[in-house]
């Protein structure tokens, strides 16, 4: 998900039982207007994303922690329903999230990457694992699979070789099958 999509994610768009999140709004800082809830980048950006069980479990733990925090703060809690929010319920500032991420990366001794680079890593790993590019495009909210293929084509050379080998294997099986049927 894009940073704005993560920050705009509300608990009403999360189904922990089904392990899905619906991307239906974003949270962005607009110059001269402050923090605003907006529509996702494109029509295709409005999407349903399936979560791995580990991510759903992490979100469940976060939900419990937020409920405890809400009870502790009482009237000081600012109800926003945001999944990712400050300790008092207010939304995070997008720029502060990026700065905090950079600090975490630095403290961990990792090479500098942007928060958005995690989105690219996710896409690259899926493509490298042979996930259908159309599915990758849908998960990313790309308006077209062409954008996904253009952006992540660096992963495809190895996949092309693998496809050629699979084709050859299928061709051999088909040829053997025909030979058996003819005899």
pLDDT category at 47 given cuts 50, 70, 90 is very high
Q: Is residue 103 part of a domain?
A: no
Work out the percent of the chain whose per-residue pLDDT is above 90. 74
Tokens describing residue 156: 């495809």
Q: Strand 34-38 and strand 26-30: pairing?
A: antiparallel
Owning domain of residue 55? 1-92
Q: Residues 128-154: what's their mean pLDDT?
A: 89
Is 62:23 a contact under the CB 8 Å cutoff?
A: no
Q: Is residue 12 part of a domain?
A: yes
Q: Is residue 97 part of a domain?
A: no
Tokens describing residue 110: 């990792």
Q: Is residue 107 part of a domain?
A: no
Q: Is residue 99 part of a domain?
A: no
What pLDDT sits at residue 178?
75
Is 113:98 a contact under the CB 8 Å cutoff?
A: no
Q: Residues 105-123: what's their mean pLDDT?
A: 94
pLDDT category at 163 given cuts 50, 70, 90 is confident
Residue where one domain finishes, among candidates 63, 92, 121: 92
Q: Are residues 47 and 119 in the same domain?
A: no
Q: Are residues 141 and 62 in the same domain?
A: no
**pTM exceeds 0.85 for this model:** no
3-state secondary structure of 28: strand
Total tally of structural domains belonging to the chain: 2
Supply the DSSP symbol for 51: -
Q: Are residues 126 and 74 in the same domain?
A: no
């Amino acid at each position: 998900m894009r940073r704005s999509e993560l920050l705009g994610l509300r608990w009403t768009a999360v189904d922990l039982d089904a392990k899905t999140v619906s991307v239906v709004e974003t949270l962005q800082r607009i110059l001269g207007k402050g923090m605003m809830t907006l529509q996702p980048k494109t029509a295709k950006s409005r999407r349903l994303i399936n979560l791995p069980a580990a991510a759903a479990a992490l979100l469940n733990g976060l939900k419990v922690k937020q409920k405890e925090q809400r009870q502790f703060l009482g009237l000081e809690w600012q109800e926003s329903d945001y999944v990712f929010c400050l300790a008092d319920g207010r939304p995070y500032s997008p720029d502060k999230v990026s700065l905090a991420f950079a600090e975490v990366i630095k403290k961990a001794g990792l090479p500098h990457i942007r928060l958005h680079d995690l989105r690219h890593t996710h896409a690259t790993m899926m493509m490298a694992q042979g996930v259908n590019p159309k599915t990758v495009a849908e998960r990313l909210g790309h308006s077209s699979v062409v954008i996904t293929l253009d952006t992540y084509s660096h992963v495809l050379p190895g996949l092309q070789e693998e496809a050629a080998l699979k084709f050859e294997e299928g061709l051999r099986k088909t040829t053997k099958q025909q030979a058996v049927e003819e005899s």
